[in-house]
Amino acid sequence: MDFSSHVQIGILVPVIQEIVYIKKHSNLKIRSDHFRYNAESNSLLSALKKRDDELKPELVDVWVNRVDTRFSCNLGHRDLIFEKNKAEVKIFKIKKYIFGIHNMKYLKAAHDYLFHQAAIVHTNSSIVAEDKQYFFNTLNNILDSNDMYLEKVVFPNDFNNMDDMFRELLSDYSTTVEDTRALSDKIKEIAAQVANTIIEANSNSESFTEELINHFYINKRDGSRRECTLCYSFDKSCRTFYFYSFALVYTAEEKEVFSKIRLNI
């Protein structure tokens, strides 16, 4: 039967390629290892011979993933597929570890932490760069109005750590106009706090170069607040801002939970 009028050729080709490959490697089988499930392994080819109501979900998933991978490779994305597969293996290991936690409190803590990290990773790098520039522009304007000038920014430690601050802010603001304004106001507020600390530290000295620390809060979507710290110094004579670190502040209880489930914070 000819399915070419109903299926795009770009999809039909990888389907045929996978069928040929599976037939050549007839030992390819899928075993469901669900708890207390003792059925024998299933051949991938068996899925092609069954009616729709007889198909097993795990076989369908494997076929879809194999055809999708073959399709991407045909388009020249083999290297990206390799990276995707490596990422999926790591995600599987993370899931396996999480579901191995038999304490609901610890399970929720692990879920919240990993969900948060995923949100941070998926923030827009271009917007992060724009927000960082806005922060330093605001900081420079306030210092300039107090006869202090910012000409250079130095990152003695991790250059990307400061970006984490803006990723944290972005993860809790969507792209609506109202949230964009709220984000700008928050960045302006933090910049003003840093500027005032620098101005006060240098009020009684020609140049105060000791490390300074600011504490501020980020309002989370669930209504909670997360305390953060920003460590830096400012050399008035060299007109240089030294950024040392940004970090989230966790309670002793949170640290104990993370320690028990072996998550580094």
Cα four-point dihedral sign 57, 59, 64, 68: positive
Contacts of residue 224, Cβ cutoff 8 Å, sequence gap at least 6: none
Phi-psi sector, 223: left (phi>0), alpha (psi -120 to 50), beta: left
Which of 233, 239, 236, 242 is closest to 203 using CA atoms? 236
Cα–Cα distance, 7 to 242 (Å, whole number): 59
Percent above pLDDT 90 for the chain: 20
Contacts of residue 171, Cβ cutoff 8 Å, sequence gap at least 6: 116, 119, 120, 123
The answer to whether 171 and 120 are in contact (CB under 8 A) is yes
**pLDDT value for 168:** 86
Confidence category of residue 161, pLDDT binned at 50, 70, 90: confident
| Sequence letter at residue 165 | M
Phi-psi sector, 213: left (phi>0), alpha (psi -120 to 50), beta: beta
Cα–Cα distance, 164 to 243 (Å, whole number): 13
Beta-strand runs (E) in the chain: 29-30, 42-43, 152-154, 212-219, 225-235, 240-248
Residue 16 to residues 2, 12, 22, 146, Cα–Cα distance (Å): 13, 6, 10, 72
What are the boundaries of each domain within the chain?
9-100, 119-260
Any idea which of 51-55, 90-94, 185-189 has the lowest mean pLDDT? Answer: 51-55
Q: In this model, does residue 99 exceed pLDDT 50?
A: yes
Chain position carrying tokens 């250059």 = 159
Average pLDDT of the chain, as a whole number: 81
Any idea which of 6-10, 126-130, 136-140 has the lowest mean pLDDT? Answer: 6-10
Q: In this model, does residue 113 exceed pLDDT 60?
A: yes
Percent above pLDDT 70 for the chain: 80
Higher pLDDT, 159 or 201: 201
**pLDDT value for 197:** 94
Confidence category of residue 37, pLDDT binned at 50, 70, 90: very low
Name the range with the highest mean pLDDT among 128-137, 178-187, 254-263: 128-137
Question: What is the tens place of the pLDDT at every residue in 175-191?
Answer: 455 677 888 899 999 99
Question: What is the tens place of the pLDDT at every residue in 187-235?
Answer: 999 999 999 999 998 887 666 678 999 999 887 766 778 899 999 999 8
